[in-house]
């Protein structure tokens, strides 16, 4: 009975081993895929009997797939295939937890006791992959990932339609598709970041314009009243901002594809001067003129879309997001769909200044008056409001911009 009733001795705790290690932090490298970290919510253990259930010692196969298109190159798919099994475990960088809101980023630490180093590396796309079981042997070979069909069905459908259009569509439809793709750029985070930055530039421009315009009653684009040459009177860089030029090359793209500029899609002013692009030898001048033509078109279509007399003719027109944001800020009224009269006058001033620049500051107002649905008498008043003078040459009335700018004096009625 020796020792009866005595409690068993508690095992002694092993002392913790202290280790001094050097920490190395590895930065992101766009040319290499960062380590992937995944887990199995189903409870599958890849280290148990090789994961295959057949008692062998073979380890499961691990494969990483990257989308072949440069546009989708950031999409990764991780596939774990247990040996002798029809079940594959698949995780994607565009499904599951990857689509949730990111509150933090992740890093992986690897401790090497022999070399006494702790290496901290980034995890691919800052996310942990959730590996879901899928039945089938060719799951990972599907480049467009059937696993995320429920979340990307709209995008996949649009991509397939676009591929068919590029293969079998007409030159015009292909050109229009390329134009729309350049306007969207929705799937590239860098493009969205760039677009946000450019929209901020528009907002900063608006604040600067409102604070520096010493003649708000003129209701005209930014100007330099002391300019000695016409091109400096209304600086083009203050009208078309630096970030907007990349989004107004649709006319140049049409001409490069051998297509004609349709009168149904572009104003009369542009159609009657499109020949200038072929006559211009300097590539920089040609590109600038083509972009100015496109900007005039977007301004006129924006006016028509928000006017009762022109809404039907511009209902199918697509304005680049950056310009739509700018025009809405500058010309729209949140209280009504239609533009207020003072904002219409400002928009018309922008159009007329661009027509002056396109015609080397000597323009026949006949075409633009038709595009703006205004009489020649009214359009003349707007040109004079910008500081223009009129003269008749060979029975044609031209608007010219003299410098330095001199605006007409505001007439005030006397009280009786």
Residue closest to 22 by CA, chosen among 120, 106, 107, 105: 120
Gap between the Cα atoms of 62 and 59, Å rounded: 9
Tokens of 165: 């259009």
Mean pLDDT confidence for 240-259: 90
**pLDDT, tens digit, 9 for 90 and up, residues 112-165:** 888 888 888 887 655 677 888 877 544 544 434 444 444 445 556 667 677 776
pLDDT score, position 210: 44
Q: What does each C-alpha distance from 100 to 89, 94, 104, 125, 127 come to in angstroms?
A: 20, 10, 11, 13, 10
121 near 100, Cβ under 8 Å? no
Gap between the Cα atoms of 374 and 369, Å rounded: 5
**pLDDT, tens digit, 9 for 90 and up, residues 50-109:** 444 444 557 788 888 776 655 555 677 888 888 877 778 888 776 655 445 555 677 888
Average pLDDT, the chain: 77
Indicate the pLDDT class of residue 211, thresholds 50, 70 and 90.
very low
Mean pLDDT confidence for 285-289: 95
Q: Above 70 in pLDDT, residue 228?
A: yes
Q: Name residues whose C-beta falls within 8 Å of residue 262's C-beta, 6 or more positions apart in sequence.
A: none
Work out the end-to-end distance of the chain between its first and last CA atoms, rounded to an integer number of angstroms.
130
Omega prior to 404 cis, within 30 of 0: yes
218 near 394, Cβ under 8 Å? no
Residue ranges per structural domain of the chain:
22-148, 169-400
**Stretch (H or E) spanning 133:** strand 132-135
Mean pLDDT confidence for 206-225: 60
pLDDT score, position 249: 93
Gap between the Cα atoms of 127 and 5, Å rounded: 55
Burial class of residue 296, CB neighbours in 10 A (0-12, 13-18, 19+): buried
pLDDT score, position 35: 78
Orientation of helix 341-358 relative to helix 376-385, angle to 10°: 80
Q: Above 90 in pLDDT, residue 400?
A: yes
Q: What is the pTM of this model?
A: 0.51
**Stretch (H or E) spanning 398:** strand 396-400
pLDDT score, position 393: 92
**pLDDT, tens digit, 9 for 90 and up, residues 263-284:** 888 999 999 999 999 998 899 9
Higher pLDDT, 196 or 341: 341
Mean pLDDT confidence for 238-246: 92
Mean pLDDT confidence for 29-53: 70
Residue closest to 346 by CA, chosen among 289, 405, 402, 306: 306
**Stretch (H or E) spanning 118:** strand 117-122
**pLDDT, tens digit, 9 for 90 and up, residues 188-197:** 555 555 556 6
Indicate the pLDDT class of residue 18, thresholds 50, 70 and 90.
confident
pLDDT score, position 277: 93
Task: Provide the 8-state DSSP code for 175.
Answer: H
**pLDDT, tens digit, 9 for 90 and up, residues 166-187:** 766 777 777 777 766 665 554 4
β-pairing, 107-112 with 362-363?
Answer: unpaired
Mean pLDDT confidence for 224-247: 93
The residue behind tokens 């083509």 is 290
Mean pLDDT confidence for 245-249: 93
Gap between the Cα atoms of 157 and 173, Å rounded: 17
293 near 274, Cβ under 8 Å? yes
Residue closest to 307 by CA, chosen among 380, 217, 374: 374
The residue behind tokens 């025009």 is 327
pLDDT score, position 90: 84
- The count of other CB atoms within 10 Å of the CB of residue 383 is 24
Tokens of 264: 């149904």
């Amino acid at each position: 009975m020796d020792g009866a009733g005595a409690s068993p001795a508690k095992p002694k705790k092993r002392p913790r081993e202290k280790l001094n290690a050097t920490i190395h932090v590895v930065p992101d490298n766009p040319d290499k895929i960062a380590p992937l970290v995944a887990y199995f919510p189903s409870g599958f253990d890849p280290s148990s009997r090789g994961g295959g259930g057949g008692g062998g010692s073979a380890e499961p196969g691990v494969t990483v797939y990257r989308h072949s298109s440069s546009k989708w190159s950031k999409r990764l798919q991780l596939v774990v295939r247990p040996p002798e099994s029809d079940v594959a475990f698949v995780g994607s960088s565009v499904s599951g937890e990857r689509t949730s809101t990111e509150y933090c980023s992740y890093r992986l630490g690897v401790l090497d006791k022999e070399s006494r180093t702790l290496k901290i590396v980034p995890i691919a796309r800052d996310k942990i992959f959730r590996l879901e079981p899928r039945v089938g042997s060719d799951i990972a070979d599907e480049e467009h990932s059937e696993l995320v069909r429920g979340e990307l069905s709209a995008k996949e459908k649009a991509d397939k339609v676009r591929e068919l259009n590029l293969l079998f569509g007409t030159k015009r439809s292909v050109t229009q598709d390329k134009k729309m793709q350049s306007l969207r750029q929705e799937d590239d985070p860098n493009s969205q970041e760039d677009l946000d930055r450019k929209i901020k530039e528009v907002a900063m421009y608006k604040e600067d314009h409102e604070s520096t315009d010493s003649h708000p009653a003129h209701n005209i684009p930014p100007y330099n009243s002391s300019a000695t040459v016409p091109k400096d009177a209304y600086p083009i860089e203050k009208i078309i901002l630096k970030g907007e030029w990349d989004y107004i090359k649709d006319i140049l793209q049409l001409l490069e594809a051998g297509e004609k500029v349709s009168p149904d899609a572009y104003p009369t002013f542009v159609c009657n001067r499109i020949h200038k692009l072929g006559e211009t030898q300097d590539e920089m001048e040609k590109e600038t003129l083509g972009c100015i033509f496109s900007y005039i078109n977007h301004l006129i279509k924006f006016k028509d879309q928000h006017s009762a007399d022109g809404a039907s003719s511009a209902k199918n027109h697509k304005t680049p997001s950056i310009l739509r944001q700018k025009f809405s800020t500058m010309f729209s009224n949140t209280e009504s769909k239609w533009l207020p009269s003072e904002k219409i006058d400002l928009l018309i001033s922008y159009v007329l200044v661009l027509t002056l620049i396109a015609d080397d500051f000597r323009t026949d107002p006949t075409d633009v008056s038709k595009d703006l649905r205004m009489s020649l008498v009214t359009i003349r008043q707007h040109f004079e409001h910008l500081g223009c003078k009129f003269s008749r040459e060979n029975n044609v009335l031209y608007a010219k911009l003299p410098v330095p700018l001199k605006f007409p004096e505001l007439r005030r009625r006397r009280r009786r």
